[in-house]
Amino acid sequence: MATIIGMGQPSNRERIARAAEEARLAAAEKAVKKEAKAAVKSPAKASSKRVPKVVRMKIIWEVCNGNGKVLQTFTYPEKEAAQAATQALIRSTGSTHVLRPTKVPME
């Protein structure tokens, strides 16, 4: 026997069917909008990308104390003089001194 439900409320089956139909229609609408949006999309503009300026670097020798403070600098070909200065500072002060290569921009 079929039961008659009042006119005010739909049955669960009807509510589920209606919700499924609304979801299907919403998905179809979304697909249509997506296709329209893809068709309307303008071609990408050629953007001018900023090219970074190439900075030429050179190596210098730095004589540093134990804390890393630069005491003297020498050009790259003067490595022997830089080593001699480092050894002289080690002997004269008795503390650690280091010779390190450092890259600096060319003038």
pLDDT number for residue 95: 92
Q: Is the residue at 2 inside a domain?
A: no
Give 48's pLDDT tier (boundaries 50, 70, 90).
Answer: confident
In this structure, are 30 and 63 located in the same domain? no
Range of the domain at 24: 11-38
Establish if 43 belongs to a structural domain.
no
61 or 35: which leads in pLDDT: 61
For residue 4, being part of any structural domain is answered with no
Mark whether 61 and 98 lie in a shared domain: yes
Q: For residue 72, tell me if it sits in a domain.
A: yes
The residue ranking higher by pLDDT, 37 or 52, is 52
Nearest Cα to 68, choosing from 106, 92, 104, 102?
102
* 29 and 68 part of one domain: no
- Name the domain count of the chain: 2
Q: Is 88 helix (H, G, I), strand (E, B) or coil?
A: helix
Structure tokens at 59: 């190596």
What is the pTM for the complete model shown? 0.51
Residue whose C-alpha is closest to residue 79's, from 63, 103, 57: 63
Q: Is residue 26 part of a domain?
A: yes
Answer whether residue 49 is part of any domain: no
The terminus-to-terminus CA distance of the chain in angstroms comes to: 99
